[in-house]
Chain A
Amino acid sequence: MKRYAKYTKLATLSLVISMLPTLAACSDNGNSNSNSSNNGATANNNQAAVSNAPAANNSAKPTEMWKQKFDPPITITSAVVDDGASRGNAFKPGESMENNAMLKWMKDNMGIDVKYDFIVTKSEDYDTKMRLLLSSGGKLPDVFGTSGDILQSMLAANKLMPLDDAIEKYAHPEYKKMLEKFSYAMGEVKKDGHIYGIPAFFMGDEGTVMWVRKDWLDNLGLKAPTTLAEFQEVIKQFTENDPDKNGKNDTVGLAVPLKEGPWTWMGQTDAIVGALTDQMINTYDVRSFWNKGADGKLSYGAIHPDAKKYLETMKDWMSKGYIDKEAGIKDPMKTSELVASGKAGVIFGPFWMGDWPLSDASKVDPKADFEPFPLPAGPDGKFGRAEKPITAGFTVFNKDFKNIEAWFAYFNKMFAKGLEQEGDPYYDTRWQNGFLEGYDYVTVDGKVVKADFKENGVPEDKWPLKDGSKMDMRFMTTNILAGGVTTVPFSNDEPVKKFLADPNAEALTSREVDVKAMKRKQIEAAGVRINQGITEGKNYFTGPVTPTMKSKGQLLQKLATEAYLKIIYGEKPIEYFDEFVKEWLANGGQKITDEVNDWYAKNQ
């Protein structure tokens, strides 16, 4: 459905583009409050001057930055996708994205007035709207989230504000440290040495673990595999020896989606690759994986000779039937159905699979028990996995935006709330118990209750929602943090260790509350991931799509996924790999390699 919508977008776009002159006329006289005509390249402007002036009552002491309040109030415009349906308990009745308690709180306590230039129901519409604003020269929102080709178009058109000075001046010190640590992941928003976007970071905890049917292992008297050889034995037994004891030859060892190649978001085989080589392989996107060689140059993993080891292994397993025969036509969702139906014994994937989809297997067979195990080691004792991109999205700023320090005031407050550090000058003590009383927490007789209001004896008239359920504050609080609320990567690790050691330990911070709320299997899997201590294989290319990637990337992706599958299915001999590499390089691959290395030389 979504794909189809994207397709029709082309038609819509061509239609709308032809009407641009009229649209441009409408949006030109937008509500830009540009009372001064400076270029706004830095945050050094009249409003900032006000906030720094000693007499102004919006200045806060450096030790109490959380008290920052802007007077007169500052209006910040943004844009958001809100389908109104999938957000669950985001608002109380009568509230909306544009009118809710958080926005009111910000207006009253921070002097920030949030307005939305537009609210659309689908992300496709959001992209279209941005493209239109871009091509019609209309006024972009002050703050918004973007990525991909729209981001690059905006950079090329000089519509965005460079943020180096603002980050230096206003950003939370801990966040600054993170930006430095993960600067390799920000290629997309860098241009001419300047940073143009504030990244929201992922937790970075989705590294692959191995999920195996423990009950099948027990049935066959096997141990969890620790090496690739043992792994092969296990999937062999799972395929041939009727591990579910139903008397039918209807099981398969390894469930894996190969429609998108070795790397995808669930069921991926990066662990098999990692056991055989240091290379990381993705055939489905020419932007990854670019591995760093001994000479300091980047090379594309999928064409590295080591990939043959992976292909030979997979081909061998496929020919013997240890792998789902239909892997080549399945995407991760389809593969997860095979696992959930109790027909496959092993699947790789992130820690969260312990809940969905793997817990579904026990609906078919109550004894079904998927357990997380460390990744098996290869013949040389190697093991490894690939790293998912660490950034979730970028918040960018209209180059004419004047009040970036107000945005940072809110950003820092939210960030400090996530950190929950004593003595942090940005940590707002008013948010100690939660964001808003009567929303994400209530107090009864001096006791703070955050969930299960009924069980905790909260009188019904104090429940945030009539049915007594919890509110989901993410939608209300994200507002001007358009690229998403950032987490601190890997900050889950310590809480996971804590609850692994003692499942009943008391959750002290909100991070710990989140971790404790996870399913036991998920915590165990997260523990397996952390304890195996693997340095995840990075994609060293994080820059914008290069010109040749744009024109030839599609062809190369098709070439690579097709070649990999043909070899794995035995339709082509393994020698075909060399032919494929030659073809890949000749059809733009060599040029892309040069472009990538040029980028890397400039940006490493």
Chain B
Amino acid sequence: MISYWRKTWPFHLLLLPAIVLCIIFSYIPMTGIIIAFEDYQPWVGMKNSPWVGFDQFHYLFTYPDGKQIIWNTLLIAFFKLLFNLVIPIVFALLLNEVRKVVFKRVVQTLVYLPHFLSWVILGGILIDILSTEGGIVNRVLESFGVHDIFFLGNGQWFRFTVIVSDVWKEFGFSAIIFLATLVGIDPSLYEAAEIDGATRWQQVMSITVPLMMPIVIVVATLSLGRILDAGFDQILNIYNPLVYSHGDIIDTFAYREGLNNAQFSFGTAVGVFKSVVGLVLIIISYRLAYKWANYRIF
């Protein structure tokens, strides 16, 4: 034991700053969760605000629109997670098959550019290009004989628009990690497969896909924790009263309620609720990943 410490103490020392930072910036602030169980009043402080137990949570679930908002969130977030996983994988696989390096690089750069644009700007752009009065998308659809679609004013289309535009913005960036995995696959496997007479398709299905599975599981598991994040800044910038019923999500609701109305306790309660759901989902999916794919992240 002592000899173990003698050998490893420099490593622990190196770890120390990270642990201290983690305690200061992640664990100590967690005491702020108390606010969620109080009727927090800034001028009397966290210690003296009246204790209300689960009232704030009760309010969230009995709020007349509560169910609708949670359902909207789950629906939008689920499809975002799904497509943000599937499309980057397919894209990475396709791009990996491209022979011309220049073309590959150019495409890769172009598709991950939107990731760096803020939704505040993109929101304005979306309103313009999806406009029913001269917006480019509706002009194109028109030439196919499709009647004007009010993308941002019709509830169903709004969800569709939110999901598609988010996937468009993020798929290039998400694909990077899969492309990196593909590059890391041992070329000798492909050589061996070719000698055995495998077609290109067979190589992909039998070598590339199985070798990508671990990273796919990691990404999927980690993103499951965000199932209640349906994209606050995106929706805040493009939603409007016409689509409240289909587009209002927990975050936008908490923003209006918690900050515009200065209901700090309620805002915190929503945050805690989201974190707890996220934590539970991560633990479950981690267990499942271990059980089915025999893969451990930690």
Residues of A near any B CB (own CB < 8 A) = 1, 3-4, 6-7, 9-11, 13-15, 17-20, 131, 134-136, 148-150, 153-154, 156-157, 159, 250, 252, 258-259, 261, 324-326, 328-330, 334, 343, 545, 550-551, 553-555, 557-558, 561-562, 564-566, 569, 587
9 A-B pairs within 8 Å (CB atoms) are namely A18-B32, A18-B46, A156-B43, A157-B43, A159-B43, A325-B132, A329-B238, A561-B241, A562-B245
With beta carbons under 8 angstroms apart, the residue of B25, B31, B43, B259 that contacts A153 is B43
In the docked arrangement, what's the CA distance between A1 and B237, Å? 10
A18/B241 in contact, CB under 8 A: no
- Contact (Cβ within 8 A) B244 A562: yes
Q: Which residues of B contact A17 (CB under 8 A)?
A: 32, 35, 46
Instruction: Note all chain A residues with C-beta closer than 8 A to B271.
Output: 10-11, 14
Main secondary structure of the interface of B (DSSP, over half): helix
Contacts of B257 in A (CB 8 A): 554
A55 → chain B, closest Cβ, in Å? 43
From known contacts A17-B35, A135-B42, infer whether A328 and B153 are also in contact, taking CB-CB under 8 Å.
yes
Q: Which residues on B sit within 8 Å (CB–CB) of A148?
A: 262
Q: Which residues of B contact A259 (CB under 8 A)?
A: 240-241
Assess A1 versus B120: contact at CB under 8 Å? Given A20-B46, A153-B42, A553-B261.
yes
Given contacts A9-B259, A18-B28, A135-B43, contact A326 B267 (CB under 8 A): no
Interface string of B216-260 (1 = CB under 8 A from A): 000000000000000011001010111011001001000111111
Cα A156 to Cα B42 in complex, Å, equals: 10
Which residues from A are CB-within-8-Å of B150?
325-326
User: What distance in Å separates the Cβ of A260 from its nearest Cβ neighbour in chain B?
Assistant: 8
Question: Is the CB–CB distance between A328 and B240 below 8 Å?
Answer: yes
The answer to whether A4 and B42 touch across the interface, beta carbons within 8 angstroms, is no
The answer to whether A250 touches B134, judged by C-beta atoms less than 8 angstroms apart, is yes
Q: Tell whether, in the assembled complex, residue B264 and residue A10 are in contact, meaning their CB atoms are under 8 Å apart.
A: yes
Q: Please name the residue on chain A nearest to B48 by beta carbon.
A: A135
> Which residues of chain B (163-186) have a CB below 8 Å from chain A?
none
| Contact partners of B63 in chain A: CB under 8 A | 555
Residue from B42, B64, B262 having most chain A Cβ neighbours under 10 A: B42
Chain B neighbourhood of A19, CB < 8 A = 28-29
User: Cβ of B263: which chain A residues have Cβ within 8 Å of it?
Assistant: 550-551
Is A334's CB under 8 angstroms from B242's CB?
A: no
List B contacts of A553 (CB < 8 A).
Answer: 261
CA distance A343 to B256 in the complex (A): 33
Q: Min CB distance, B286 to chain A, in Å?
A: 25
Q: Are B32 and A14 in contact (CB under 8 A)?
A: yes
Q: How far is the CA of A4 from the CA of B119 in the complex (A)?
A: 10
Decide if B43 touches A154 in the complex (CB within 8 Å). yes
Residues from chain A with Cβ under 8 Å of B297 in the complex: none
B64 with A329: CB separation less than 8 A: no
Taking the closest CB of chain A, its distance from the CB of B127, in whole angstroms, is 6
Check A554 against B43 for contact (C-beta < 8 Å): no
> Which of B123-154 touch A at CB < 8 Å?
124, 127, 131-134, 150, 152-153
Inter-chain CA distance A190–B48, complex, in Å, is 26
> Size range of the interface on B?
35 or more
- Which one of A9, A15, A565 lies within 8 Å of B242 (CB-CB)? A565
| A18 with B244, Cβ < 8 A, contacts A7-B232, A134-B43 known | no
A1 to B123 CA separation, bound complex (whole angstroms): 11
B residues apposed to A, CB below 8 Å: 25, 28-33, 35, 41-46, 63-65, 118, 120, 124, 127, 131-134, 150, 152-153, 232-233, 236, 238, 240-242, 244-245, 248, 251, 255-264, 267-268, 271
Contacts of B127 in A (CB 8 A): 326, 329-330, 334
By beta carbon, the residue of chain A nearest B232 is A7
A544 CB → nearest B CB, Å: 12
Least Cβ distance of A144 to chain B in Å?
15
Shortest C-beta distance, A250 to chain B (Å), equals 7
Measured CB to CB, the nearest residue on chain A to B118 is A1
Residues of chain B contacted by A554 (CB below 8 angstroms): 256-257, 260-261
Contact between B64 and A325 (Cβ–Cβ < 8 Å)? no
Q: Which residues of B contact A134 (CB under 8 A)?
A: 42-43
- A261 nearest in chain B by CB position: B241
Specify the chain B residue showing the minimal Cβ separation from A157.
B43
- A258: chain B residues within 8 A (beta carbon): 241
Cα A131 to Cα B127 in complex, Å, equals 36
- Contacting pair A18 B258 (CB below 8 A): no
Q: Given contacts A134-B42, A259-B241, is CB(A10)–CB(B133) below 8 Å?
A: no
Q: Inside 8 A of B124's CB, which chain A residues have their CB?
A: 334
Q: Complex: how many Å from CA A258 to CA B233? A: 21
> CB distance A7 to B255 under 8 Å?
yes
> A10-B268, A555-B65 in contact; A135/B28 too (CB < 8 A)?
no
Complex Cα gap A217–B157 (Å): 38
Interface centre among A153, A329, A551 (most CB of B within 10 A): A329
Whether the pair A566, B42 counts as a contact (CB closer than 8 A) is no
Q: B241 and A328: CB pair below 8 A?
A: yes
> What's the Cα separation between A183 and B251 when bound, in Å?
39
CA distance in complex: A46, B118 (Å):
56
The 7 closest A-B pairs by CB, nearest first: A157-B43, A14-B32, A149-B262, A561-B241, A15-B29, A329-B240, A328-B242
A6 CA / B152 CA spacing, docked (Å): 24
Known: A329-B153, A566-B242, A587-B64. A153 touches B120 (CB 8 A): no
Residue of A nearest to B40 (CB): A17
A150 to B35, CA, bound (A): 18
Q: Bound complex: CA of A555 vs CA of B253, how far in Å?
A: 9
Known contacts: A4-B233, A259-B240, A329-B242. The answer to whether A550 contacts B261 by CB under 8 A is yes
Rounded to whole angstroms, the CA-CA distance of A276 and B251 in the bound complex is 38
Contacts A7-B251, A325-B133 known; list 20 others, CB within 8 Å: A1-B120, A3-B255, A6-B255, A10-B271, A11-B271, A135-B42, A148-B262, A149-B262, A153-B42, A156-B41, A259-B240, A324-B133, A328-B241, A329-B152, A554-B256, A554-B261, A555-B63, A557-B256, A564-B241, A565-B241
CB proximity of B70 to chain A, nearest CB, Å: 15
In the assembled complex, the CB of B228 is this many whole angstroms from the nearest CB of chain A, namely 15
Assembly CA distance A562 to B232 (angstroms)? 20
Would A131 and B242 count as touching, CB distance under 8 A? no
A562 lies within 8 A of B241 (CB): yes
Q: How far is the CA of A326 from the CA of B241 in the complex (A)?
A: 12
Specify which chain B residues have a CB less than 8 angstroms from the CB of A3 in the assembled complex.
236, 255
Whole-angstrom distance between the alpha carbons of A21 and B55 in the complex? 27
User: How far apart are the CA atoms of A557 and B248 in the complex, in Å?
Assistant: 14
- Report how far A511 CA is from B244 CA in the complex, Å: 46
Residue of B nearest to A568 (CB): B242
Inter-chain contacts of B255 with A (CB < 8 A): 3, 6-7
> Is B133 touching A326 in the complex (CB atoms < 8 A)?
yes
Q: Is the CB of B45 within 8 A of A558?
A: no
Q: Which residues of chain A are near B256, meaning CB under 8 Å?
A: 554, 557-558
Cβ contact within 8 Å between B259 and A10: yes
Q: Chain A nearest CB: distance from B224 CB in Å?
A: 22
CB A411 to nearest CB in B, in angstroms, measures 27
Q: How far is the CA of A416 from the CA of B163 in the complex (A)?
A: 59
Assess whether B245 is in contact with A20, with CB atoms less than 8 Å apart: no
Contacts of A136 in B (CB 8 A): 45
A153 to B65, CA, bound (A): 29
Which of chain A's residues have a CB closer than 8 A to the CB of B131? 326
Residue in chain B with minimal CB distance to A132: B42
Minimal Cβ-Cβ distance residue in B for A325: B132
For residue A107, give the distance in angstroms from its CB to the closest CB of chain B.
Answer: 34
Q: Which residues of B contact A250 (CB under 8 A)?
A: 133-134
**Chain B minimum-CB-distance residue to A13:** B264
Chain B residues with CB under 8 Å of A10's CB are 258-259, 264, 267-268, 271
Could you say which of A6, A7, A551 has the most chain B C-beta atoms within 10 Å of its C-beta?
Answer: A7
In Å, the complex CA distance between A371 and B132 comes to: 28
Nearest A residue (CB) for B63? A555
Which B residues touch A562, using CB under 8 A? 241-242, 244-245
Which of A18, A157, A545, A565 lies in contact with B29, CB distance below 8 A?
A: A18
Shortest C-beta distance, B245 to chain A (Å), equals 7
Q: How far is the CB of A318 from chain B (nearest CB, A)?
A: 12
Q: Chain A residues near B259 (CB, 8 Å)?
A: 6-7, 9-10
